[in-house]
Structure formats: structure tokens, C-alpha cells
Amino acid sequence: MITNDSRKWWVLGALTFGILAISLDMTILNVALPTLASDLNASTSSLQWIVASYNLILAAVLLPAGMLGDSYGRKKYLLASLVLFGLASGGCALSDSTTMLIVMRCFLGLGAAFIMPLSMSILPVLFHGAERTKAMMLWAMANMFGIPLGPILGGWLLKHYSWGSVFLINIPLVAIALIAVGFLLPESRSENRQRLDVFGVITSSLGLTGITYGVIRTGEHSWSEPMAISSMVVGLLLLIVFTAWQRRITYPLIDLSLFRSARFTWGTILATIVTFAIFGLMFAMPQYFQAVQSADSLQTGLRLLPLIGGLIIGAKAAQSLLPKMGTKWIAALGFALLAISLAIGAATHMDSSYGFAATWITISGLGLGMALPTAMDAALGELSAERSGVGSALIMACRLVGGSFGVALLGAALNATYRSNIDLTGVPDLAAESVQLSVTAGTAIAKQLGSEPLLQSVRYAFVSGMDTMLWICGGIALIGVVLTLIFLPRGLVASTPDQVKEIGL
């Protein structure tokens, strides 16, 4: 029999299945892109839009999704978004053209835009004090698990089934979440149903979309590309207009008074910095394992498993140490471990063993497990049940923008170093252009030409670029240590059991 006390943990367990499906979807598709290019005759531009369409819709809908859940019922919108995510996953699997797949990916992004903030918004409603901290750590772990699991599952599925299977894997996860949430989670909403801020929805959605699109376009072209710069500038201006509008109206889309809280402000900023810093590992290491150490997709995913091991241990250690050390010191320790591990990773050489990589990846997991849930819990603890939806959406929107800039800025640093270190002596001009695109293209061209010197040059250049990126990421993590010690308040976050009583648990 499920008691009222255990019921909330069953609800959390159900929500983690939905979050796991979303985090899987972020990385599992990358493994299938070469197959999609072949089976759907997809161009490079089409492949980019298959990936980018998801992020654009996610950015556009996050803030209104949180507000709608607060105003009209979190359970209602959570159930609808789970159904949409499941149906869109099936639609992606059945797509017979790139256009249909892009459209279905947009619906996936729409579902994810509701699931992510609303599943997070349930935490300050169901849990309080130390229980909420534990729940936040479980939620964060589910959010991170899918990143290394994506290539493992994707690689295995593609060996045995068609590319559509990488989307169908979402359906059983969503089904479990749907059934459990439907039966176990009572409805909750804000007591004060506010009017829909239409102008706020339009300006925030277009602003976040503009910035995200601009950053994506810089990855495709460069930071000097006019459309990319224009898109980011317009997006930023729209967000400035949005912020000014929020200060003037009676029923704003987001409550700017949240930023008066040092815990919410710095918890959100630090969670964004963690997302930015860890990007270097998640972006570079899969390419390193495949292009330099000649691993396939499945082997690459398996080699990232130490990150999960470190993440679990780090989160458990943080949970145990929080009552003694407090939020500030646990978050600072997590950032310090991240900085140390990324600095160690920046010493990678061409002949470095997997044991070396596994060691610093594990330490990165420890730091991530301490820093990310602790920072997010600091922000989450300042949210009342009334504004948990839009507050959670605001945290996720900041992380999304931070992650997007991480992709562009750190990717640009890696590419610049990679291109400057390649020795293209004697390589035909057309082949040389392809080699400079990426390490994957470079190794493929070198093997086609049968040129061992070019292959070694490409690998050396990539490792040099990866080391540069990891140094930058380590520096960002070190900044996180300093900001945590200076600005994040001491002690633990307080929250009241009244939040739990509001929905009858």
C-alpha cells in the first residue's frame, strides 16, 4: 500500500522517467545522424535543422509553460505534455522525409518545454527542507543520466534495428510517467489565477528564440555571420523590452522580485555556469574517443559511464554533507572538483590512455553531482508553491541560454585551435577544406587518401583544440568557485511544510 508519505516519492520516480526520456533525446539523435543522412537523403542543412528545431521550440515555450502550469494546473499540463511527447516520438520514428521529421521534432520540443519546468516545479510543492534537497538531486541525476546513456542505447539500437528505434525508446518511459503521474499526483495550481500576459509571452518567446537561433547559426557559420549577429542582437533587445514590460504590468509573466533573493539569483547563475563548464567534456570527449581512440558509438557511450558513477557518488556525498557544511561550501567544493578535473583533462596527449580519461571524467562527475543539484536547490528553495512553475521555467531558460552560448563559444575555441594546428602540406585544396570542417571529416579524408601523416596531424590538432577548450572550461569552473564563496548565502534553504499541505499530501 502506498502511504501519503511515500506517495510523493513514487511521483518523483515517475517524473524521472519523463526527464530521462528528454535527456536521452538530447544525445541519442547524434548517433543516428549519419543513418538519417543516408536513409532520408538529408542534406547537412536538414540535419542541422532536425537538431536545432527542438532547441528553438524549447526556448520559445519554456516561460509561458511555467506560467500556464501555475495558473491552470500543473498536473493537467504535465499529463498533456507527456502525451504530446510520446506521440511526437512515434511521429519521428515513422517520418519518411526530413520535413516531417523536423515538424515532429518541433512537437517533441513543445512537449519537453512543459515537462522540464513543470516536473521541477512539483518539487517545492511536494517536498521541503532536506527532503527537497534529496528530491532535487534525484531529479538532476535523471536529467544528466541520459547524456552518456544516449550514445550507448543509440549505438546498440542502430546495430539491431532501424533509426526510428532511437525515438521509440521514449514511448515506454513516457508511458510509465504518464500512468504514475495520472494516478498518484494530485492537481496543484496557484490560488491566484493571473491573466495571460500576451505581450510578455510574445517578447520572451521571440527573444529567447532569436538568441538561440543566432547561437546555433554561429556554430554553422561563424561569429561574423550577419544573420547570426542580427538574430542575437534582436533577441537581446526583445528580452530587454520584455524585462521593462514585466516591471510595469499588474500580472507579469515572471515575478522579477525573485531576483531580490540572493539564493535564487546566484543559484540560477551558478547552475548556468555548471552547464556552461561541463559542456567542454560532453562536446569534446565523444569526438575524442571516436576520432582519436577509434571507438564506435556504443564504445563511446560506455567510456562516458564514469561520469555517471561520479555523479551518483557526488550527489550522495553532497546530500550527506549539506547539514554539516551548508550550501555555499558544498557548491564551492563541487566547482573546485570540476576545475581540477578539467585542468587534468587539458593535459591529454595523443597517447594518453583511457585510464587517464576515466580518472578525470570520474572527478568531473563528482564535482557535477555536488555543484549542479546544490545550486539548483538553492534557487528552487526560494520558490513558493504559488510561483514554482514560472520560477522553475526561469531557471531552465537561463540554463538553456547558457548552454547554447557554451556550445558556440567553446566550440569556436576548439575549432580555431584545431584548424591552426593541422599540417595540410601536399593535401589537395578541396580535401583540405573538408579536413578543416571537423575532426570527423578530417579523419575520414585522411583514411580515403591513405595518408598516415595527415591522420596523425588531424588527431594532434583536435587534441590540442580539446585541451584549449578544457582549460577554458576549467577557468569557468574556477570562476564558479569564486562567485559561490562571495555571493551564495551561507546555511541551508528553508521551506515550509505548508507547501505540501496545499495539494493534500
281-293 per-position pLDDT tens digit: 877 888 888 888 8
148 pLDDT exceeds 90?
Answer: no
| Percentage of the residues of the chain whose pLDDT score is greater than 70 | 92
Summarised one tens digit per residue, pLDDT across range 186-198 is 887 777 666 778 8
**How far does Cα 149 stand from its chain's mean position?**
14
| Least confident residue range of 74-88, 231-245, 334-348, 479-493 | 479-493
Which one, of 115, 104, 100, lies nearest residue 54 by Cα?
104
Instruction: Look at 470 and 383; give whichever has higher pLDDT.
Output: 470
Place of cell 558513477: 309
Question: Which amino acid type is present at position 309?
Answer: G
Task: Copy the grid coordinates of residue 256.
Answer: 522579477
Could you report how far apart the first and last alpha carbons of the chain are, in Å? 15
498 pLDDT exceeds 50?
Answer: no
The string of DSSP letters for 267-332 reads HHHHHHHHHHHHHHHHHHHHHIIIIIS---HHHHHHHTHHHHHHHHHHHHHHHHHHHHHHHHHHHH
User: Domain locations in the chain?
Assistant: 4-197+251-501, 198-250
Summarised one tens digit per residue, pLDDT across range 1-30 is 344 567 888 888 888 888 888 888 777 877
The string of DSSP letters for 230-255 reads HHHHHHHHHHHHHHHHHHH-SS-SS-
Collect all residues with Cβ–Cβ distance below 8 Å to 124 and sequence separation of at least 6: 132, 380, 381, 383, 384, 385, 388, 495, 499
Instruction: Look at 341 and 393; give whichever has higher pLDDT.
Output: 341
Q: What is the 8-class DSSP label of residue 426?
A: T
Q: What is the mean pLDDT of residues 415-430?
A: 85
Fold observed for domain 4-197+251-501: Growth Hormone; Chain: A; (1.20.1250)
Per-residue confidence (pLDDT) for residue 491, from 0 to 100: 62
pLDDT-derived band at 100 (thresholds 50, 70, 90) equals very high
194, 72 in Cβ contact below 8 A?
Answer: no
502 pLDDT exceeds 90?
Answer: no
Summarised one tens digit per residue, pLDDT across range 461-476 is 999 999 999 999 999 9
Which one, of 303, 209, 197, 183, lies nearest residue 254 by Cα?
197
Q: How many CB atoms lie within 10 A of CB 486?
A: 9
CA angle 78-137-13, nearest 5°?
45
Summarised one tens digit per residue, pLDDT across range 165-219 is 889 989 999 999 899 888 888 887 777 666 778 898 899 889 888 887 887 777 6
280 pLDDT exceeds 80?
Answer: no
Which one, of 383, 68, 59, lies nearest residue 195 by Cα?
68
pLDDT-derived band at 495 (thresholds 50, 70, 90) equals very low
Per-residue confidence (pLDDT) for residue 497, from 0 to 100: 40
Q: In sequence order, what E strands does 83-144 have?
A: none
Question: Which amino acid type is present at position 444?
Answer: A
Average pLDDT of the chain, as a whole number: 84
Per-residue confidence (pLDDT) for residue 193, from 0 to 100: 65
